Structure 1
């Protein structure tokens, strides 16, 4: 396993982070693994050096935090782990049971710590940018959470760059705890964050952790999973000609190397020096092994061009832009990939 500091902080995390959205309760989604099914996957990640675990109170409406941490207590030492959880999306009733108000921040951290059966979380993260709550209210509340010892650091996820700039500015002006991590969606089929957010994070010394490196299964060339057959977000995000062309190029590179497409797609992400850690939401041990192999896979210039040539701009994917994708057309192949036709449809 490789380890790196998260941004300018002193916190060291594994370059592979175990994503746990698929762990918790099947009553939430049909593709969720229960505790007994999750334990072998978590154990395999830990055995291979993963110390970074990603949670959210939203996953399985709280059951995800409970299930994953039950397993972690059996298999690992708390002080050797970096556990993050997120707040924001409602998981129960009541008009205040969601968002980033001071009330909900404090209610949410207490709920998460109780379900996780731990005294603190290493990184407490905003799941999105709450446009209805003054950012000063949210960030002061998070600073108080850190000062109380219930979180070591704070982080953020999935927002516009200008929104993140507001957060950092408010923290600087008031001397409040500053986010050390931005969690965002980045893969060969979705690269809009390269335009502003990622350069901004590099300039500000904020670590970047990446989710959905396989574009929800598109880049592994496997769209037959239960999740992708029941989750309309996959169709909404990646059902366009450009995304499918990227998948064919990934498959072409994989065929040339004699490895699986997932490994190539993950190697593309991990090859970006801006990436601190890549989330791996594995359904089995072999899928996690693909990500491990990707850590040691260095793509050459022609392979990178072949993967990237199909990409054209699209609308940003976040909570505010659903259903606003624009038509996209790929660029022609070059080099040894010109005229090459992948067997993948």
Structure 2
């Protein structure tokens, strides 16, 4: 990697050095209309991210049913493996029929080998459970993950998106039974989705767990490209994806107004201020950015140079009150 534009930090209590922004690789595929659907352009974004000092790449087996992992593998083939931190996930449905999804010992180990093949690597740096599996004992899941670490196929294990009591159970089960312990958590977290402040984030802070937020720009809402008084245009994600359009609430528009105001004051963009707000949270290790264009990537990376004041951080936070579960959502 030719430069260190993005600073590096350690992941939670580990000594693993990761960039303060992770490159999310869900866009690298063809499964949905808003994905890039172009392998060459996807590889160009990955290469530019690596040149900018991002060494932390996050994907999942279920992203376009393995296509994202294949693209990542192609892109990193000529880069120094010892500098890269490759993260992927397991849980989602990979095929119809028995044992096609979940966190059983069989599915985890089978999918780890499949991910290794698609990524073209000998080991996975951070292997994460994508969701909690209500049908599999956590002891079985932890045993399978520990086996992968013992075999040298995985370096660290992480988790994503669950209730706080579930994560606490996983941590104390690992401690009591001597299984490998989760070192990181991927929560949905941004300036308008702050429910994890009342759920997972206090646990992560207490247990020194690395926090790698997904959707740091709320599906594009916090980029400022949408307007309260106008319907989203047909070529935007909000026009086809309710994940983004569901952010169109009075409270969230109030947050965005503060972000836009601070962006104007600092000659920055709303996306940069939104990322800077996340980076200002003590519990956060590395937000996962998901640019679909190189100029968006470079815009996001510039956020690491913005240090918000305590007053600015509070201005952005003030319109929202964190609560769990999220109001109106079935968790």
Structure 1 counterpart of 2:106? 103
1:174 aligns to 2:177 (yes or no): yes
1:59 aligns to 2:68 (yes or no): no
Tell me how many residue pairs correspond in the alignment.
318
SS at match of 1:124: strand
TM-score scaled by length of structure 2: 0.91
1:205 aligns to 2:214 (yes or no): no
* Superimposed CA distance per residue, residues 130-168 of structure 1 (whole angstroms, 9 cap, x where no aligned partner): 111111111111111111111011000001111001101
1:20 aligns to 2:29 (yes or no): no
1:112 aligns to 2:115 (yes or no): yes
1-side partners of 2:45 and 2:92: how far apart?
26
Structure 2 counterpart of 1:305? 314
2-side partners of 1:146 and 1:228: how far apart?
40
2-side partners of 1:161 and 1:125: how far apart?
16
Cα pair 1:187 1:269 within 8 Å, conserved: yes
Unmatched runs of 5 consecutive residues or more in structure 1: 326-345
Alpha-carbon distance, 1:103 to partner: 1.3
Cα pair 1:315 1:324 within 8 Å, conserved: no
Structure 1 counterpart of 2:3? none
| 1:230 aligns with one of 240, 244, 254 | 240
2-side partners of 1:100 and 1:87: how far apart?
7
Structure 2 counterpart of 1:189? 192
Cα pair 1:242 1:312 within 8 Å, conserved: no
1:283 aligns to 2:292 (yes or no): yes
| 1:6 aligns with one of 7, 11, 21 | 11
* Superimposed CA distance per residue, residues 38-88 of structure 1 (whole angstroms, 9 cap, x where no aligned partner): 1221111100111100010011111110011101114x1222100010010
1-side partners of 2:239 and 2:161: how far apart?
24
1:32 aligns to 2:41 (yes or no): no
1-side partners of 2:64 and 2:201: how far apart?
30
Report which stretch shifted further, 222-231 or 96-105. Answer: 222-231
* Superimposed CA distance per residue, residues 295-329 of structure 1 (whole angstroms, 9 cap, x where no aligned partner): 11111233223211111245546xxx87459xxxx
1:85-164 matched pairs, under 5 angstroms: 85-164=88-167
| 1:43 aligns with one of 44, 47, 52 | 47
Cα pair 1:30 1:226 within 8 Å, conserved: no
* TM superposition outliers: structure 1 runs of 4+ over 3 Å: 223-226, 313-317, 321-325
